[in-house]
Amino acid sequence: MKLALIQMNMAAGKPEENFARAKDLIQKANEAGPDVILLPETWNVGFFPKENLAERADENETRVKAEIGALAKALGVNIVAGSVANVRNGRVYNTSVTFDRQGNVVNVYDKTHLFSPMGEHEYFQKGGCVARFSLDGYACGVIICYDIRFPELTRTMAVQGLDFLFVVSQWPKVRVPQLKALLRARAIENQCFACVCNSCGTFGETVYGGNSLVFDPLGEQLAEAGAGEEILFADCDPSGLQTIRETINVFRDRRPKLYQL
């Protein structure tokens, strides 16, 4: 499975510009023939405009479904459309939508863990579900940025079956080494491919770090981006997943009755 990670530098609080930019980058990425294209977190507004947030946000995922879903269908490619600031029932969520090659919505996920150090919990509502779905016959899951610090969430997906973990983020430059360590750990402990599609550029005083990454189930790095806007490609061969899981069968050897969470 070939992945294309769009490490996007979005315009702060300007959804019109960001939708146009995202669609242009998706079409550019598709020229290389990927199976899955990924966008970063809250690419429609950046992370995140506190003034007039609801007015700048999508509503009921309407625009992302209409424009990015239509593009998935037209190009015949799976798209994990990062996440967008999104209003539903009068409340703002950090919402990820995933489309298959026919442009069908296969998953909608609201960010579960909101980043309290930057006050995200004061402006967004928490989600309440786990995001598992299938793309081209492979078991996939998506989490958003801060979610990666909570291994219980990813392991919940993995015990149900997980081949690819997609992480969409707005991760700051100062903590990129932590992001790399966390992503590698999620790949190894869950014996899955794990990738993070990060943003870049500056929003307010925060510099976002880029360095989008892809790891295989053994924790070997397959690809890494630089600090600026770019499209990162990675070829992932899932044919060895079963061998890895049979060689070190952590899922068979788990003792869940002892785990008190």
Task: Specify the pTM.
Answer: 0.98
Question: Does the annotation count 126 as an active-site position?
Answer: no
Region 56-64 average pLDDT: 98
The pLDDT tens digits for 154-179 are 999 999 999 999 999 999 999 999 99
Catalytic residue among 140, 145, 195, 197: 145
Backbone torsions φ then ψ of 212, nearest 5 degrees: -55, 150
pLDDT of 12: 96
Question: Does the annotation count 65 as an active-site position?
Answer: no
Catalytic residue among 41, 180, 192, 200: 41
Question: Does the annotation count 195 as an active-site position?
Answer: no
The pLDDT tens digits for 99-139 are 999 999 999 999 999 999 999 999 999 999 999 999 999 99
The confidence band for 93, taking pLDDT boundaries of 50, 70 and 90, is: very high
- The Cα–Cα gap between 242 and 246 comes to 6
25 with 230: CB under 8 angstroms?
Answer: no
Q: How many residues does the chain have?
A: 261
55 with 48: CB under 8 angstroms?
Answer: no
pLDDT of 225: 98
pLDDT of 260: 83
Backbone torsions φ then ψ of 30, nearest 5 degrees: -65, -20
166 with 38: CB under 8 angstroms?
Answer: yes
On the question of pLDDT at 214 being above 90, the answer is yes
The confidence band for 74, taking pLDDT boundaries of 50, 70 and 90, is: very high
User: Cα–Cα–Cα angle for 152, 42, 38, nearest 5°?
Assistant: 75
> What distance separates the 2 farthest-apart alpha carbons in the chain?
53
On the question of pLDDT at 224 being above 90, the answer is yes
Catalytic residue among 111, 120, 180, 192: 111
Q: How far apart are the first and last CA of the chain?
A: 34
- The Cα–Cα gap between 216 and 79 comes to 20
Closest listed residue to residue 23, CA positions, set 59, 63, 67, 57: 67
Q: Where are the domains of the chain?
A: 2-258
Which CATH number is associated with domain 2-258?
3.60.110.10
Percent of the chain with pLDDT over 90: 99
